[in-house]
Structures are given as structure tokens and as C-alpha cells.
Amino acid sequence: METYLENILQNKEINKIVIYLGSKVDNKIFKQNEISKEQFLNIFKSYQIKQSIVNFYQAGNKIKTDDKYFKMVQIEDPDIVKNNSFEITSETDSLILFYNYSELKSHDFPSKLEYSVEGKINTIETNFIEQIKIKLIDEKYLQIELTKDAYMDNTIRELTNLIKLITPII
């Protein structure tokens, strides 16, 4: 996984990486593992944790969460995103998705009539390091977000440490 990420990160379009942990059912289906809020809090008890319940609106690749407006375009180029699932243990796999993330002004967000997804999301999150954010979505799904920066080789090493830390509970 480390080598894969290091090679992919040379692509200038990619500035956000999202990793899901679960099991690969087949080549087209990935099922996320569930983790409890208590397990999450126990692992990250020495980290600053923030919980928020936000209104979520999506229109295509444009997203609004309360007062944040942004665009997340998933990179789907088959030359870049191939073999993006890795075995972590005999029971746990990871699925890596790549995005081009950019902030939007509120007037760039579509009107309510164009929303394709609307609802509330309960998020518990912490920063493992500045570039790695761990989120527990709706108190059951773990999501790891990496923000691309100049020191990605260090970030990838820290990601490996994080996965070793959380693997026993997943």
C-alpha cells in the first residue's frame, strides 16, 4: 500500500485521499467494517476529539456541510486508480479513493431544487497528525482522510502506524 500511494501521489490532480476499512466482497463490492464509538474513543483517548452533527447537502460533486462549501471530484482514471484495495489482515482490507478537493463560495453551490442527497451526519473526528484525519461517521464507519502536502512520505509512514494501531479492533 505504501509504494502504491507514493507512486500515485506524483499526480498533481490528487490532493485528498480517503481510506475505508472493511472487506472486499468481490471486485466491485466493498463492505465497510463497523466500529463502536467506545472503541474509537478508547483508541484515541489521548487525542483531542471533536463531535459534530451537521446538515449535509450534495448536488453532484458539490457538497455543503453547514457553512462549508466544497467540491470533491473523485479521480476515476483507470491508469491511476487500479488495484486500489489492499489486504491489511486476513479479515480486513482497505479501499483507497482519490479526490481533487477545492473550496467553493456559497454562491457557487446549487439551489435546493438540485440537491441529490440531503440529511444529517454525526461525525466524531480527531487528527492523528496534521495531514491525517480520522472520522467515525454516524458512530459506526471509520474513515481516514489524508491531505496531500510536501511531506507525503512522512504522512504515509504515519498512516502505516495508524493502521497498526486500529487494526486490532476492526
What SS3 state is found at 130?
Answer: coil
d(CA 79, CA 21): 23
In whole numbers, what is the pLDDT of the chain averaged over residues?
89
Q: How confident is the model at residue 113 (pLDDT cuts 50, 70, 90)?
A: confident
What pLDDT shows up at residue 79?
78
Among 61, 77, 83, smallest CA distance to 4 is for 83
pTM for the predicted model, two decimal places: 0.89
* Cross-strand partners of 75: none
Task: For the chain, give every domain's residue range.
Answer: 2-169
List, for residues 62-94, the tens digit of each pLDDT value.
999 988 999 999 998 887 777 888 999 888 999
Four-CA torsion 108, 113, 114, 119, nearest 10 degrees: 100
CATH of 2-169 among 3.40.50, 1.25.10, 3.20.100, 3.40.1350: 3.20.100
Asked whether residue 150 carries a pLDDT value surpassing 70, the answer given is no
What number of residues does the chain have?
170
List, for residues 51-68, the tens digit of each pLDDT value.
999 999 999 999 999 889
d(CA 17, CA 12): 13
Asked whether residue 28 carries a pLDDT value surpassing 90, the answer given is no
Average of per-residue pLDDT across 115-137: 93
d(CA 34, CA 53): 19
What pLDDT shows up at residue 21?
92
